[in-house]
A and B are shown apart, each in its own frame.
Chain A
Amino acid sequence: AQKVTQAQTEISVVEKEDVTLDCVYETRDTTYYLFWYKQPPSGELVFLIRRNSFDEQNEISGRYSWNFQKSTSSFNFTITASQVVDSAVYFCALSETQGGSEKLVFGKGTKLTVNP
């Protein structure tokens, strides 16, 4: 069965600090997709990134970077030089290709507060 664990419930940092959000997943599929979504206080879910299970390259997008390690079933997300606007709940999610619908299974989320 699919499972996503985000062990950090809440993180609080001061602006300009770097912060890493952890995500560990479980799946029996050999082909799957991993995602990060951001939920700001306004409540919408904003797609940030997708990684395929067969592509372990790390990715950087501006201040955001993602570290995918299949050996440890982890897909961690780092924000460099955090800003107050980064304050949100961040969800890691997994989608398997078996079963046909590719539904998303979400972790419980990590609430990030960036203080000025």
Chain B
Amino acid sequence: EPEVTQTPSHQVTQMGQEVILRCVPISNHLYFYWYRQILGQKVEFLVSFYNNEISEKSEIFDDQFSVERPDGSNFTLKIRSTKLEDSAMYFCASRMDRVYEQYFGPGTRLTVT
């Protein structure tokens, strides 16, 4: 069964460093998302991406964040200058056109020290 994959599973970085989180969505999906979950809290929407552009972003997704689909398979989230409060689990999700359930990857745990 096809699934969303994410790398790395755990990333430790120092405050102020740039990180890139990588996702490979399910191959015939057209809508892509990033969410984050601070430890013990609810899952929060960051950004959605369709047709090679951002379709919606949340207040959390400020100028420090960017997304890219550099090729036909990868979908990346970049944080330019990480802060302590960026420590969280980051989930990538994707869905098909006209099918509204989103399928999530296993997540990348980001720890900013």
Q: Is the interface of B mostly helix, strand, loop or mixed?
A: strand
Known: A101-B48, A105-B45, A109-B42. A45 touches B33 (CB 8 A): no
Contacts of A100 in B (CB 8 A): 50, 55-56
| A9-53, CB < 8 A from B | 33, 35, 37, 43-47, 50
The answer to whether A50 and B43 have CB atoms under 8 Å apart is no
User: Among B12-20, B68-76, B78-86, B97-105, which stretch is in contact with chain A?
Assistant: B97-105
Find the residue from B35, B43, B105 having the highest chain A CB count within 10 A. B43
Tell me which residues across on chain B come within 8 A of A35, comparing CB atoms. Answer: 101
A104 close to B102 (CB less than 8 A): yes
- B45→A47 contact, CB < 8 A: no
Within 8 A of A (CB), among B15-66: 31, 33, 35, 41-45, 48, 50, 55-56, 58
Nearest A residue to B44, CB-CB: A106
Query: In the bound complex, what is the Cα–Cα distance between A33 and B50 (angstroms)?
Result: 19
- Cβ of A47 and Cβ of B104 under 8 Å apart? yes
* Distance from A98 Cβ to chain B, minimum over Cβ atoms (Å): 11
A47 to B101 CA separation, bound complex (whole angstroms)? 7
Whether B106 contacts A44 by the Cβ 8 Å rule is: yes
Q: In the complex, what distance in Å separates the CA atom of A37 from the CA atom of B48?
A: 19
Enumerate chain A residues within 8 angstroms of B103, measured Cβ to Cβ: 47
Min CB gap B23→A, angstroms = 13
Return 23 A-B CB contacts under 8 Å, by A number.
Answer: A33-B101, A37-B104, A43-B89, A43-B106, A43-B109, A44-B105, A44-B106, A44-B107, A45-B104, A47-B101, A50-B100, A91-B43, A99-B56, A100-B50, A100-B55, A102-B95, A103-B33, A103-B58, A104-B45, A104-B93, A106-B42, A106-B43, A107-B42
Binding site for B on A (CB under 8 A): 33, 35, 37, 43-47, 50, 91, 93, 95, 99-109
The 3 closest A-B pairs by CB, nearest first: A101-B48, A101-B56, A45-B104
